[in-house]
Chain A
Amino acid sequence: MSILKRKETAFLFYVIPMVAIVFIDYTGIAKPVGSELISWAIVIWIFSYFVGIYNMFKSRLAVLLERKPGWQYSILLFASFFGILIFGFMQHDFGYNWIVENLLTPMTLGVKIYGFVLMIILARGAKTRNFDVTFLLIVLIVVMFGKSALGPAMIPDILVLKDFFEGPINTGVMRAIKIATGIGLIVIFIKGLLGLEKAYIGEIVLSAEE
């Protein structure tokens, strides 16, 4: 087994720093050590950008050199990356701001049109293959109809139904999920402390199937 996947390594790099940070945060003892650990974590995290960029460049360069379908987009990616990097380093406000305001922001907004996406989900993505989803969609229609101006005007009783779904039903389910999620979080934390859960260092789950 690789030394990085040994239980001792997981303890050294994950469990001990985590317990130390929690202990220092609660007790206030040796605060500089806690700050130092967090600084190390931030430095490692920033360095991990390079790992990701290396991977991205490697795969995009292969697409470009082998002229795979869509290779033109790789040129765009490299040009964008180096363009914004150069303007960023030069502290060239005009160039940098122009890219952010005229390219990055409109493209980001274009991708993130939440409302529109939510509306087309029902048309394109909804999988009404079982009773649960069909029931959920019916409830959704009732609530939406109840919230609109036209709904209560046409059927006044729909408000009672809408409040019932939004009130006891919704609140109860949300609280149940919150409580169960909290317990699940504690369990994952304990598994991490005991060295049972090592997915964060690339440890594969060993199935007893074979």
Chain B
Amino acid sequence: MGKTVHFATGIGGLHDQYAAMCIAALSIMSEVARLCGKSGVIMRYTCLKGYLVPVAQDMIRSGYIQGGNPELYSDDMVNYTGENQAAFMAAVQGYMMREEPAVNMIFGALKAEAQQTLVAGARVGAVQLAGTPRLYYQALLVILCDYNLIGDELFAAGAYLSKDPAQLGTIQAQDWNKLIVMFLIILSAITSSFGLDLIGLLFSW
């Protein structure tokens, strides 16, 4: 009891090609902040991007207000480690060893900082949750986490947590799109076997 919850969004930010992953991670964080506020648990967020500081502070403050414990919120729940990946790794590992959080979460566009963060979390016995659509880190997350989001699950998670009908509709659309792609793959595999390049025809059309 009395331990903290740690959350991080990895190296990807809102200004680069990883913006969608970062947005999805932030929408998960909003729900985590609300649940921490509801349970009276202190949350810590570590980020690599300066512009995420006000965004995260706003989200966490709103989460604690919604959760019914606004007095627990303080601005130092958000920690900026500088834009350097190694600095982020060192800061998170130091934090893990000092505070020994009960839960360690890292979502978004993850690179090498994810494995360091999760190994440090494993050493202090934290429950670990992580997710990234980046291919290279899928197996690492499966090995290191108690629960993880594979591939596009990260994009669906925020919408799923919101329970908002409009956002849930996008998950359904995502599933229908997947079904269409699966159908096209099977169809093109069959037609290719008979010498007809269906995908080539579709793209040339």
Contact = CB atoms under 8 A, between A and B. Distances in A.
Interface of A: 41, 44-45, 48-53, 55-56, 58-59, 62, 69-70, 107-108, 111-112, 114, 117-118, 120-122, 124-127, 129, 132-133, 136-137, 140, 174, 176-181, 183-192, 196-197, 199-209
A201 B19 CA distance: 13
A202 B50 contact: no
B82 A56 contact: yes
A186 B170 CA distance: 10
B86 A136 contact: no
Contact of B51 (A48, A125, A132): A48
B143 A45 contact: no
Nearest to A63: B76
Contacts of B26: 199-200
Given A108-B86, A133-B142, A205-B162, A177 B150 contact: yes
Contacts of B84: 108
Interface of B: 14-15, 19-20, 22-24, 26-27, 29-31, 33-34, 47, 49-51, 53-59, 62-63, 66, 75-76, 78-86, 89-90, 98, 112, 115-116, 118-119, 121-123, 128, 133, 135, 138-140, 142-146, 150-152, 154-156, 158-159, 161-164, 166-167, 170-171, 173-174, 177-178, 181
Nearest to A113: B116
Nearest to A114: B112
Contacts of B78: 55
Contacts of B85: 112
Contact of A202 (B58, B143, B174): B58
